[in-house]
Structure 1
Amino acid sequence: MDNTMYARLFHMINIAVIWGLIILFILKPGVAHAGAVAGAQLFIHALLPYLLPYIILTQWLLKIPNHTQNIPKWRRFMKAYVLGSFGGFPVGAVTVTAMTKNGELARKHSGLLLAACHAPGPMFIIGFVGTEIFGNIETGWKLLAAIHIANILFFLIAILFLYRKQEMDNIPSRFIQTTIEMPLLEALKESSTVIILVATTVIFFSSLGTVLSNGITSAFTVDMGISKTLALSFFEMTSGVQSATDHFLDLSIFPILIAIIISMNGLSIHMQVFVIAKSCGIPMTPYFVGRIWSIIFVPIIFYFIL
């Protein structure tokens, strides 16, 4: 089978999936509406208050011109990690993309930092997950520590292996930092674009996950709590966390389950990162490897810390 045949097959599968989902949404309008409402409420309650202020401040800082030309690599890496990984999804992708466009990061470095700076914000983990889900701020801090330990280990191991092969300190010459007259206004403009992207993906995938979980439960003898949590965790992390809380709060493994769901991130967040990173041509392979690493090691590290 040649490339043309593969392309046609892929196109046909896409069309079939889209029409299948359209029909499913038509057949279950109430369920789709309930899922969209739940996604919108979660976005407004759990994401927007924790995400928006930090995105604006991060973008504002990145828009201020840097007049120092020869900044050591470790300082550039530290800047990307602090601004990106502590801002929440998808601030890491926004930060790495902006620094790559400004000429502060090489393309190879940007791929690794895209994976390493991918972390939920401390306001979300401590404020929402720790306080409202776990009912314990200390447990939220421990989960946050596990996430950052896993990310830093991944970056250090990856960079050591890459430096054995080649030196990656060449900054792309095509990215030239320009002077921005009103950095705050530019930060507000770009932040609004990111927020709209986040809201769109969260609401859509929450609705999709709810419809699919309802369909699976109707067609098979599967517990609604299990099917809904699995479907929502795959598509939208925050909705998956909320579903797991509604159905599995009393289980002893509940904290580990939440750690797994947050490590998976969900298709919604992955789509946000892909759209943002694509604008700068950042390689995505390190990101996908980093996600597998996180799914494996974050729950393990969290278990030993807990």
Structure 2
Amino acid sequence: MHESHFYPMISILTVWGLIILFILQPGIAHDGAVAGAKLFVHALLPYLLPYIILTQWLLKMPGNPKETPKWRRYIKAYVLGSFGGFPVGAVTVTEMLKNGELTKKQSSFLLAACHAPGPMFIIGFVGTELFGNVSNGWKLLIAIHIANLLFFILTILFMAKDNESESVQIRPHKPSSTLPLLDAIKESSSVIILVATTVIFFSSLGNVLSTVTTSAFTVDMGIAKTFALALFEMTSGVQSATEHFYHDAIFPFLIAAIISMNGLSIHMQVFVIAKAGNISMIPYVLGRVWSILFVPIIFYLAY
């Protein structure tokens, strides 16, 4: 079969296979979707929405990219993107590309470096509710940012040789909005809808696949459910890990690994946002491998 026909056929078969699974397991799919919706409302929305709106508002303020040193644009991207939670980094970098503050090459590397869970999520949800210890939440947050900053420094060193500094495309000037806050709220709503959709869908999918796996093979339900949910949806994964491994010594480091892995839900959010700016995803993939390797190690040393 020709390659151009092979991949579409695989996609079609995969979609129909998932549709059949959802039809055969409607109750489990429903439970997964409900769990994903609850996690989104209680663990993500309160921490993510205010920061996305404020970030969008700040990015819409007028400025002149030509007069801003390159290093200051990098710092701006990191501070706004890395402290806002997933997928604020992608939103920030894409918006800065649209504003003419970054080149395509700079955007692709900063997309990878400016990617971290928000402090409110790690300290408030993971530290307080999952670890039951705020200080351990701080330690995990520090471990994430140490790994990110190391990657960020490598990124800056790599881009120091970047000859594209003059190829930044300055967009035609648009009249400043008289209501930038409303514009920020409007654009933030599309990001929130994207996050909610992916979280609920992948939570449902992970629930169904983990149940099918444990039915077909001799696999511990806790392990299968945690692995499947962590693979598809990070927040559901850490919730499952808490339910099944809370009293194990490995629990804090398992949470660190799941958060570093992010899950397909977050990767899909970043992909959709970055695609709007035609930003390369290769550095982003390398950045995720870097985080998976180093965040649990740094957290272990600080724990």
Task: Place the TM-score, normalised by the shorter chain, in its bin.
Answer: over 0.9
Q: What does the per-residue CA deviation read over 1:131-174, in whole Å, with 9 as the maximum and x for residues that have no partner?
A: 0000011111111111111111112123324435x434234326
Q: Where do residues 189-228 of structure 1 align in structure 2 (5 Å cutoff)?
A: 189-228=186-225
User: Displaced runs of 4+ in structure 1, greater than 4 A?
Assistant: none
The reply to whether residue 118 of structure 1 matches residue 115 of structure 2 is yes
Corresponding position of 1:50: 47
Corresponding position of 1:15: 12
RMSD: 1.3
Of residues 249, 254, 263 in structure 2, which corresponds to 1:252? 249
The reply to whether residue 175 of structure 1 matches residue 171 of structure 2 is yes
Tell me which amino acid in the other structure corresponds to 2:192. I
CA distance in 2, matches of 1:72, 1:149: 24
Contact 1:104–1:171 under 8 Å retained in 2: no
Q: What does the per-residue CA deviation read over 1:38-72, in whole Å, with 9 as the maximum and x for residues that have no partner?
A: 00000000000000000001101111111464111
Unpaired segments of 5 or more residues in structure 2? Answer: none
Contact 1:89–1:269 under 8 Å retained in 2: yes
Corresponding position of 1:231: 228
Unpaired segments of 5 or more residues in structure 1? Answer: none
Tell me which amino acid in the other structure corresponds to 2:267. H
CA distance in 2, matches of 1:269, 1:224: 24
* TM-score under structure 2 length normalisation: 0.97
Corresponding position of 1:272: 269
CA distance in 1, matches of 2:164, 2:302: 35
SS of structure 2 residue aligned to 1:35: helix
Corresponding position of 1:294: 291
SS of structure 1 residue aligned to 2:160: helix
Corresponding position of 2:133: 136
Corresponding position of 1:26: 23
Q: What does the per-residue CA deviation read over 1:235-273, in whole Å, with 9 as the maximum and x for residues that have no partner?
A: 000000000000000111111100000000000000000
Contact 2:241–2:255 under 8 Å retained in 1: yes
Contact 1:102–1:177 under 8 Å retained in 2: no
Q: Which deviates more, 22-31 or 103-112?
A: 103-112
CA distance in 1, matches of 2:64, 2:173: 10
CA distance in 2, matches of 1:67, 1:7: 45
Give the 3 Å change call, closer, same or farther, for CA 177–257 of structure 1 in structure 2. farther
Q: Where do residues 99-110 of structure 1 align in structure 2 (5 Å cutoff)?
A: 99-110=96-107
Contact 1:101–1:176 under 8 Å retained in 2: no
Q: What does the per-residue CA deviation read over 1:88-136, in whole Å, with 9 as the maximum and x for residues that have no partner?
A: 0000000010011001111111111111110000000000000000001
Contact 2:261–2:288 under 8 Å retained in 1: yes
Contact 2:113–2:155 under 8 Å retained in 1: no
